[in-house]
């Protein structure tokens, strides 16, 4: 059941939210509520994904997926997804109605992705919206519920776009076999790699603007600029599965660098 939550991204997203909240000086009690709501929401999303994708995962021979591998029953995972989603409503609203509502909107978009948008040209929309809502959720948890800087919201959306496109690169063969046709699959692995690189570069520039060129943000932007060039160069070799895997890992590292730089240098500047 833990593996079916997609445990690594679930823990990473929860840690990201919590770190941003702490850096922004959100009250300790609300930080704990944010962590709990995000964790339960991510569990619901992961279980929903594995429940809905079970037939496709079996067809693709995905032994890394517990349901497809027969380690856990599909119905059990589906029931857990529903319970977690219901439980996430009071947990989210306990943070405050504004941040709670924003978080539930983000979770709703993720469920919409799992249930429908994943196989359409609009597959990128849930990632752009949900990642962009991260600073909104944290900022509105502060006293007075202020809104975050628009450039930080835009940077979050760019990171979501990069993550979505890069995440499809290792699964090119499996997606082709099962007929998954989201936007990255429609444009092909080479263009997908380029989009990931551009999105990372734009997010890095926006972080510099949001922090008024704080030293750490500038350093992170420079490092991510190099990473973006590396990802773009890998696009030339995107027909190779090894190159696609390298591009995916490079994008994930670049996003992690931006997150770390934001937590350290921009937490207090979340709202301007």
Residues of the chain with pLDDT below 70 are 172-173, 176-178, 232, 234-244, 266-267
Cα three-residue angle 133-135-141, rounded to 5 degrees:
100
What is the pLDDT, as a whole number, of residue 146? 95
- Side-chain-side CA neighbours of 254 within 13 Å: the count stands at 37
What domains, with CATH codes, occur in the chain? 1-137 (1.10.357), 149-272 (1.20.120.1780)
CB atoms within 10 A of CB 112: 15
What HEC string does 96-133 produce?
CHHHHHHHHHHHHHHHHHHHCHHHCHHHHHHHHHHHHH
CB atoms within 10 A of CB 120: 14
- Distance between CA atoms of residues 4 and 83, nearest Å: 15
- Distance between CA atoms of residues 169 and 194, nearest Å: 12
The tokens for 41 are: 């929401």
What is the pLDDT, as a whole number, of residue 217? 85
The residue with tokens 């190099």 is: 226
What is the pLDDT, as a whole number, of residue 188? 86
What is the pLDDT, as a whole number, of residue 58? 86
Q: Is 270 helix (H, G, I), strand (E, B) or coil?
A: coil
Q: pLDDT for 242-260, tens place per residue?
A: 666 777 778 778 888 888 8
User: Which residue in 107, 87, 86, 105 sits closest to 97, CA to CA?
Assistant: 105
- Distance between CA atoms of residues 28 and 269, nearest Å: 19
């Amino acid at each position: 059941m833990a593996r079916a939550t997609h445990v690594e991204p679930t823990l990473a997203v929860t840690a990201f939210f919590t770190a941003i909240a702490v850096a922004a000086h959100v009250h300790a009690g609300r930080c704990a509520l944010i962590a709990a709501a995000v964790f339960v929401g991510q569990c619901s999303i992961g279980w929903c994904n594995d429940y809905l994708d079970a037939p496709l995962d079996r067809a693709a021979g995905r032994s890394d997926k517990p349901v497809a591998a027969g380690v856990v029953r599909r119905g059990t995972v589906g029931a857990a997804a529903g319970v977690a989603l219901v439980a996430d409503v009071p947990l989210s609203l306990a943070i405050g109605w504004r941040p709670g509502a924003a978080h539930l909107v983000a979770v709703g978009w993720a469920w919409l992705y799992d249930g429908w948008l994943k196989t359409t040209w609009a597959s990128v929309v849930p990632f752009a919206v949900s990642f962009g809502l991260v600073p909104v959720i944290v900022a509105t948890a502060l006293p007075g519920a202020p809104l975050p800087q628009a450039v930080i919201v835009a940077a979050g959306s760019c990171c979501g776009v990069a993550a979505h496109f890069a995440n499809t690169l290792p699964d090119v063969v499996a997606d082709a076999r099962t007929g998954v046709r989201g936007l990255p699959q429609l444009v092909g692995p080479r263009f997908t790699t380029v989009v990931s690189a551009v999105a990372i570069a734009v997010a890095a520039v926006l972080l510099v603007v949001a922090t008024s060129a704080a030293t750490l943000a500038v350093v992170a932007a420079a490092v991510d600029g190099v990473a973006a060039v590396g990802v773009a160069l890998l696009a030339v070799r995107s027909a190779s599965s090894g190159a696609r895997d390298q591009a995916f890992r490079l994008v994930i590292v670049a996003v992690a660098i931006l997150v770390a730089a934001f937590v350290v240098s921009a937490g207090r500047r979340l709202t301007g």
